[in-house]
Amino acid sequence: MVIENLKYERFKNFFQSILFRADICTFDEFSDIGLGPYHEKIRKIVLGNLTTDDLEFQLNIFKLDKNSDFEQLLVQPFRSKLKAETAYSFLLRGYLIIINFKENKTSKMMKENRLKKMGKFEHFF
């Protein structure tokens, strides 16, 4: 499915702001989120409402099975690490949101399904 005419900056910055807030939060539930060298850049983007290229901090959204209980879940952000690749993900009412901060093997596989600067993205069902 293709979704068009999104307000790219607002949409992408919304998800980046969730990660930033999780990074600065002192609750144990968010202790896994550590933006490390990306903290300051994300802070400037979120607080300044800045725009980034669609390949910088690549955002992918996948629709999970609509007949599952995933539709009811809101899951806090978590960091995934596969060898040297790190991604940040969370689940919002049946959608899996994945943010890659730098290009890697996984982000290359999902490149065509990223949120694009023209305000369009394709996602899988």
Residues forming beta bridges with residue 78, ordered by sequence position: 89
In 10 A of CB 32, how many CB atoms?
Answer: 14
> Distances in Å between the alpha carbon of 118 and those of 17, 25, 63, 102, 109?
20, 32, 21, 20, 20
Least confident interval from 5-19, 34-48, 59-73? 59-73
Length of the chain: 125
Residues in CB range of 115: below 8 A, 6 or more apart? 6, 8, 11, 12, 54, 59, 60, 61, 121
- Is 11 or 44 the better-scoring residue by pLDDT? 44
Beta strands per DSSP E along 14-82:
58-63, 74-82
- pLDDT score at 26: 93
- pLDDT score at 125: 44
Question: Does 54 have pLDDT greater than 70?
Answer: no
For a pLDDT cut of 90, what percent of the chain falls above it?
14
pTM: predicted TM-score of the whole model, two decimal places: 0.75
Band (pLDDT 50/70/90 cuts) for residue 103 is low
Q: What is the arithmetic mean of pLDDT over 78-91?
A: 82
- pLDDT score at 112: 61
- Is 106 or 39 the better-scoring residue by pLDDT? 39
Closest CA to 35 of 119, 125, 113, 101: 101
Question: Does 67 have pLDDT greater than 60?
Answer: yes
Average per-residue pLDDT for the chain: 78
- pLDDT score at 59: 82
Contact criterion met (CB below 8 Å) for 5 and 112? no
C-alpha triplet 53, 86, 26: angle, nearest 5°: 95
